[in-house]
Amino acid sequence: MHFISRSYVVYIFGVSISLGLLMLYTQNVLVPMVAHTMFNFLALEYGIQFRKQKH
């Protein structure tokens, strides 16, 4: 995690809690791992598209 702002830290904290609850609910560590991978992929795609629009 990279410290960007306080609001980002709060957001990531919420995501972390959500992924932990997802694991507890499903009793399967693979489910939050896949969700985390999808989150990272979507964030990367958003960043790429945002960067293309700026140039």
Average pLDDT, the chain: 91
Instruction: Please say if the pLDDT value at position 1 is more than 60.
Output: no
The residues, any chain, with a CB within 8 Å of residue 19's CB and separated by 6 or more, are 32, 35, 36
d(CA 35, CA 25): 14
Nearest 5°: the CA angle 21, 26, 32 is 60
> Taking a C-beta distance cutoff of 8 angstroms, is the pair 24, 30 a contact?
no
**For residue range 12-36, what is the model confidence (pLDDT) as tens digits?**
899 999 999 999 999 999 999 999 9
For 1-55, strand residue ranges (E) read none
For the chain, the domains span 6-54
Supply the pTM of this predicted model: 0.72
